[in-house]
Structure 1
Amino acid sequence: MDGKTYLAQVLQWSTAAKVELVELISSGMAMAGPILIFAAIGHLPLGLAASVGGLAVSGVKAGSSTKNQAKELTSALIPVILAAVAAILLLGYGWMSDIAVVVLASLAAIIGGYSRAFVVATTRFILFLAITINVMGTAPNLAQLFYLIVAGAIWSSCLSLMLGALVRTRRSIDSSEDEASTFTISQKITRWRKSLTRLSGWQYTLRLALCLCIAEGFRWFWPGHHLYWIVLTVAILIERKVEPFPIKTTQRALGTVLGVIAASLFLVVSLPAWGMIMSIGLLAAVRPLLKVRNYFAYSASMTPLIMLIMNAGQSIELGVLFDRLIATLIGVGLVILVNLIFSRVMPKPA
């Protein structure tokens, strides 16, 4: 594939999937709602903390049956809560905390091989472990922050269910649309155990652990710089399939870099509270649409959304933003380099 064709695929805008208007409204309100409520009583940072929980749950599709929607919300809610609990338990032990994060993320990667549903859940857990442990690392009250994150996730779930019910009253959706697994638990366990007897069954875990170890190493060797974004970039970019330059990874990488630059503009100008809430609500609202239209645009919108939340609405210095951009580029290069190495050493499929 030549460069022009590759770039065209990176920027290609898909119109195949349908997105309900109520999904955009639900996603925007799920994150902007808690921020608006707490901002009204003079506690904007608390509202931003609550929106961390809504970040994972707000993207659940509302146009399916009640059973499917509840199942998807549960599978989104549980990893967020577990990530918040893990962040509380792991904080405060110095380098041992960093090692524990790598070990826990690696265990999640192994467990994810059980099924497709577990792939989604464990990937979400790894990403939100990276987010919450960074957010909680600077929080004065961990218990309060934990309850806020859980409350934000529950708020998003309830809002999604209510708006989903509204969609179902307008058009007929019944249980026949429910997705049923074609494999039994015994078959899944047998397949999972068999995959762990081959190198291909461990490649994702090994790549993730290697990238996270190097990312944590950067933080320890250069503590004066804000290099935690390397860890977060790795969590965002790394995928289960080994491909040096897959379209989706390129879209994620370019989108993440562009998102960091865009977020820098937001944070340098120090938006007022209402501007911050509108920006987060708008970015959250377009997420479901961009995710199915173009993954590059989706990644570019997700990154400033995460950064705005993690900074609790505070303006930061240009030096910090430069550190984050460098950290993002390091994370991108790290994931690509490790993918290249593993694509060479992994046996080719028959």
Structure 2
Amino acid sequence: MSKSDQGYTGLGFILKDTLQWSNEAPINYPQVIAGFIGMAGCISLGFYLNHLMFGLVSTFGVMITNDTSSNGTIKKHATELFRTMATGTVAIFIGIIIAGNGWVTGGLIVMISTLAALLGGISRSVAIASVQFVILSIIGSSMGDGLLHQDIFRVPAYFASGSLLGIILSVIAGYLMQKSDHNVSVQTAKLSYKQRFTLWRSKLIHFTGWKYTVRVALCMIAAQLMGIVFHLERSYWIGLTVAIVLKRDLAYSQRRIFQRGIGTAAGVLLGSCLLLWSLPQWNSVVVIGLLGALRPIFKNRSYAIYAMLMTPLMLMMFSTGSPVTAHLLEYRLLDTMIGCVLAYVLGFYIWNNASQGNVVGKT
């Protein structure tokens, strides 16, 4: 067992582990192509129609479907993409409904996150969908303080449009490049939905089956309290960070927390260049497209670099039509760091120490 698997927390090891580079994951060229054309296309269409909200929300749709990968057939991949599209559209819809109600909104986000964490234990696919649901619910709730209620159906429709474009591009690119893919998929025995559900229910008899759910609940409660009590302007980034970095495996959570924190800090430095270099609209389309193409390459090879690239990408998207300001960079860095600290203390540290204490007690 490696030190990382044991939850080793030495500073030198953490930094080495955080900055490591992996060549194990092959480059998924259909994802790269779909990411560039889809994201650049949605933003450019938003500029062309003078409808920046469409450009922003539809680009999120492309991003979510572009994060869905599969080693199976094109038909199976398309099915997974449509499930992702449906999950994301419903999440955005719910996020807009609950937006702008202060403590009520915060409480509902905690409830959604906790329920999603609990249900995610059924299977890996449900776990992935549950995290996506939480992330997009938070994004939906961040789209105004209730002012978007008049667009309660329009905004999810924009997201679905971008998702559909991402699906079409991914399927076409996958079909055109399938001849060059010599990977042979190995068929393994799969549990039925009933068997998975029965196994999941049996785990809930013991506290171990609830541990991840409790970790998520604690972190999300703290995230919402921080934003509401201290009136943080873009506090939704705190909850987003928690949802992204908090994983079921403790050692994996530790790595993600440090990777996200270091990557975001580097990304803010990279994003500060935008203060000095104001891109024209159509030049920013190319930059967003390039960043969209690089995302799937670095996500599985160096998550720290991935987080670094995501920071200026998100800043450009959220400030589309207006310049990136120093305050926006400060909010991004501060909220991300708060989210990482909460995830580390409440979602990793106290649980890791408890686990080590139990092991020592048994020896």
TM-score (norm 1): 0.89
Structure 1: distance between partners of 2:251 and 2:300: 21
Question: Alpha-carbon deviation of 1:293?
Answer: 1.5
* Cα gap change, 1:220 to 1:3, in 2 (>3 Å): closer
* Cα gap change, 1:98 to 1:40, in 2 (>3 Å): same
Structure 2: distance between partners of 1:172 and 1:15: 18
Question: Alpha-carbon deviation of 1:298?
Answer: 1.5
In structure 1, the partner of 2:7 is none
Count of residue correspondences: 348
Contact kept in structure 1, 2:134 and 2:243, CA below 8 Å: yes
Aligned with 1:162 (options 133, 153, 172)? 172
- 1:239 is aligned to 2:277: no
* Cα gap change, 1:78 to 1:38, in 2 (>3 Å): same
Question: Alpha-carbon deviation of 1:245?
Answer: 7.0
Question: Alpha-carbon deviation of 1:243?
Answer: 3.8
Structure 1: distance between partners of 2:25 and 2:46: 35
Question: Alpha-carbon deviation of 1:130?
Answer: 1.7
Question: Alpha-carbon deviation of 1:146?
Answer: 1.8
Q: Judge which range, 159-168 or 182-191, deviates more.
A: 182-191
Structure 2: distance between partners of 1:52 and 1:130: 13
Question: Alpha-carbon deviation of 1:345?
Answer: 3.3
The amino acid across from 2:352 in the alignment is: S
Contact kept in structure 2, 1:268 and 1:318, CA below 8 Å: no
- 1:52 is aligned to 2:60: yes
Question: Alpha-carbon deviation of 1:71?
Answer: 3.0
Structure 1: distance between partners of 2:185 and 2:25: 16
Aligned with 2:110 (options 102, 107, 128)? 102
Q: How does 1:8-23 map to 2 (within 5 A)?
A: 8-23=16-31
Contact kept in structure 2, 1:102 and 1:213, CA below 8 Å: yes
* Identical pairs, percent: 29
In structure 2, the partner of 1:281 is 289
Is there any run of 5+ residues in structure 2 with no aligned partner, and where? Answer: 4-9
Q: Judge which range, 306-315 or 153-162, deviates more.
A: 306-315
Question: Alpha-carbon deviation of 1:244?
Answer: 8.9
* Cα gap change, 1:224 to 1:247, in 2 (>3 Å): closer
Superposition CA RMSD, Å: 2.7
In structure 2, the partner of 1:263 is 271
SS of aligned partner of 2:215: helix
In structure 2, the partner of 1:226 is 234
Q: Judge which range, 147-156 or 295-304, deviates more.
A: 295-304
Aligned with 2:261 (options 253, 274, 278)? 253
Structure 2: distance between partners of 1:33 and 1:39: 10
Cα deviation code 1:214-266 (max 9, x no counterpart)? 11112222226433321222122211223497333322232233234433443
Question: Alpha-carbon deviation of 1:192?
Answer: 0.5
Structure 2: distance between partners of 1:308 and 1:28: 15
Q: Judge which range, 329-338 or 140-149, deviates more.
A: 140-149
Is there any run of 5+ residues in structure 1 with no aligned partner, and where? Answer: none
The amino acid across from 1:58 in the alignment is: N
Contact kept in structure 2, 1:32 and 1:277, CA below 8 Å: yes
Structure 1: distance between partners of 2:49 and 2:18: 44
* Cα gap change, 1:245 to 1:104, in 2 (>3 Å): closer
Structure 2: distance between partners of 1:230 and 1:286: 24
- 1:71 is aligned to 2:59: no
The amino acid across from 2:176 in the alignment is: L
The amino acid across from 1:259 in the alignment is: G
In structure 2, the partner of 1:185 is 193
Cα deviation code 1:162-201 (max 9, x no counterpart)? 111111255578xx73755521223211210122122222
TM-score (norm 2): 0.86
The amino acid across from 2:57 in the alignment is: A
- 1:298 is aligned to 2:317: no
- 1:345 is aligned to 2:354: yes
Question: Alpha-carbon deviation of 1:131?
Answer: 1.9
Q: How does 1:116-127 map to 2 (within 5 A)?
A: 116-127=124-135
Contact kept in structure 1, 2:257 and 2:343, CA below 8 Å: no
Structure 1: distance between partners of 2:310 and 2:332: 15
